[in-house]
Structure 1
Amino acid sequence: MSEDNSPKSRAFSLIKTLSSTALRAGNEALKRRLNKSDELDSFMSDAALRLVKGLDELKGAAMKVGQLLSMVDESILPPGWKSALSKLQSQATAKDWSYIEPIILKEFGNLDGFSFIEKEAVHAASIGQVHKAQLKDGTFVALKVQYPGLEKSVKSDLKNMKKLINIANFMPNMDNYDHVFDAVEMLFIQELDFIREKNYYDFYYEKFKNNKNIIIPKTIPEFCTKNVLTTQWIDAECLQLWLNKNAKDIHTNPLLIEKRDKLGALLLEVVFTEIFQLNHIQSDPNPGNFLVTENADLVLLDFGATQELSSELIQNYSDLTLSAIQKNKFEIVKAAKKMGFLSRGDQPEAKESFLRAMDIAIEPFLNEKYSWKDANQLKRTHAESVDFMRSTKFRAPSPEVLFINRRLAGNLLIMESLGATVFAREILNRILNINGA
């Protein structure tokens, strides 16, 4: 491996990337002021693309923060940044095989347990990449290999990315987000432990093994280490690629409509089961973590970001949900205060804004079925959320709430991309056991 991934080298590369990004962002802002027009807004920001390129090369915690930024509301990010940053979610560049092979050899001593390993990665992310392989017994597997040296650079990466966020003023009242960065650091270090992730694969496999439409790949314990995770290979297509391929016909072809709605129902089934029954949440909403089989079954991948949820939080979320369905404003506010969304000192407009946001969020569960096609639920939710954040002076939620909301927002984004029509109320009622459903 020829790349220098030491903390010092990474810090230098990241600072160089951030300096170049800041310079270009300043030029873009100046052009917009001089032109007094929004003609640059519809294009991807050159500054953001420079940042994306640098973060993609570095991987690690810096890239993870870039992925988080891609989910920030467009009204907070500079024009053209959101579309550019979204590339970090699904278009990460893989490392060359000459970089990966020594990592595998270090873990296993040799490659004698494999009939072959494809040298070209099938997927790359912030902490590693996946190669298709075959074991000597004929089993096809997915080999997830972790990039070395990432744990040593976490604090430095996050410190420098926080400087960028401060300079760019992406998040006003940034001091309130110190504990969020602490949580991101903890989560990232947890993701680097592939034994922990293996255990969550096994946990989810047991919980969903009787659901024929939700598939969790089995782990191969003898080929799992802290830095390499090996699971059963599932013949399926990345959900994002499936969406891109079928975008033109997904609302007109009867077979695709059926698959579209099935996938939408399964996505809701998974996230509500996680929160209200498993007491856990896979907090990374990247569409690359879902695969689609030929029969439109849903394959779940990547459990490194899985978090256990406190019983108190689950009860509060349940109370908030039920109160919203019942349109009980008093109980909604009561639950919101317990969860830290609202506080005693908030102005009345904060409470009213939160109530409006809940009205939008609960829409899919008020009638027998709901269509996400042209519903613009995400856009309306974002707009109201920004108003709410301003009314609370951008007070940060607890990390536990932040990670759940991150997953729910990602789920909503996928639902709108699908444009699915789903009997959402029945799914929620059944999982929450409302009226004995």
Structure 2
Amino acid sequence: MRLDRALAHLERYPFHMPGHKRNPDFGLPGAEIDITEIDGYDDLHAPTGVLARLQADLAALYGAGASFLSVNGSTCCILATISALCKPGDEILIARNCHKAVYNACFLNRLQVHYVEAEFDPTTGFYTRVTQAALDEALAAHPEVVAVVVTSPTYEGYISRLHCSVPLVVDAAHGAHLGLAPWLPGRMEGDAVICSYHKTLPALTQTAGVQVYDSSLAPKIKRYMDMYETSSPSYVLMNSVAKMADLVADPAAFETLQAGLLKLYKLPLEHLRLIQADDPTKINISTLHCNIDGNALAHRLRACGIEPEMSDRIHVICMATVGDTAAGFDLLARALREIDCTLEPGDWPVAPLPLPPRHLQSWQVPAGEPLPYQQAVGRIACETVFAYPPGVPMIVPGEEITAAFVQAIQAAKNSGTVLHGTAGGGAERICCCVLTKE
């Protein structure tokens, strides 16, 4: 029996967890199917029934040898996969634009981190793809690397198609929809591919999974998924994945999305620019050549009844999925036309942020002290600072705080971009230390 059908037949009185007992008097949405691992409803950590079938359905959907479900988001999958592939002290190669969860996994496992950088497009201000040549060069420079981690697609929708002789982990958190309709780019390929179902498919927030294509890695990844994932996985969340997998198995589910995007990208705009990356469902609205920045554009879109995915100094991202309607696309098109008519030409300078010099691995860095950014130049960062979303670090522990980095922080802050620091510094201060020679 499928999970959603099994949950429709909860007929025994619940003298078990959770404490709400499915009592409707509490008014808790979803409580009617919120159960624990009771008889007949399987156990995600040792699945043999409805949850085993769900994971088999997901593996079939993505053409994988195995699929492991996460109700702790892609973060859990990233931590588990990197832990499975590496032991303390190992060398790992990661794309510099990886999500903070990748850096956290490297910190927890005390890995020796090397970087490969995505290409920077000065015409858009976006980091785009990691090239095969750049990956090959980085691996040749670091022959002891035991695994590679890249982000593909990126937040803006750029896709890197890569291969290498060591296990390749693809953080495709924003690519769960790829390959599910013939007009979409093909699914990501790697030894382990991590997808956030909730980001781009009709599943509830926190749902994700690891698709394992190298069967020899499956037992190791399963072991660490059991360690990092909650021992009380939500049946409400898992049920949403079951319904999602059934829905998107039919490519016709994506027809409204395709029609809406085709119409939107033909929109005549004079000042704003729609930048279509490899994944067309990421609608990048560039303000690079007009007299408004991305955060101001996001504010005006909200006034038109639209909440975008993110904004920064040079662009706004709107995400389109199978959940969108023709009316929603029309609302966005109308808002963009109305705003565009009020704008004038302008230019925002863009340049890649130089990679800060690194003096220590993140796990070697002491606690440090918080200082205003200007006073911290020349010191070593003791925390990660990032704009969220998307959660890509601007600096990580062990890297030198440079004047260029401080200027980038100031520009982001002035434009209204939200900055976070893992030690609480964020937009005003950074936790740092003086590098001492022993």
Q: TM-score, normalised on structure 2?
A: 0.27
Higher strand proportion (structure 1 or 2) = 2
Q: TM-score, normalised on structure 1?
A: 0.27
Higher helix proportion (structure 1 or 2) = 1
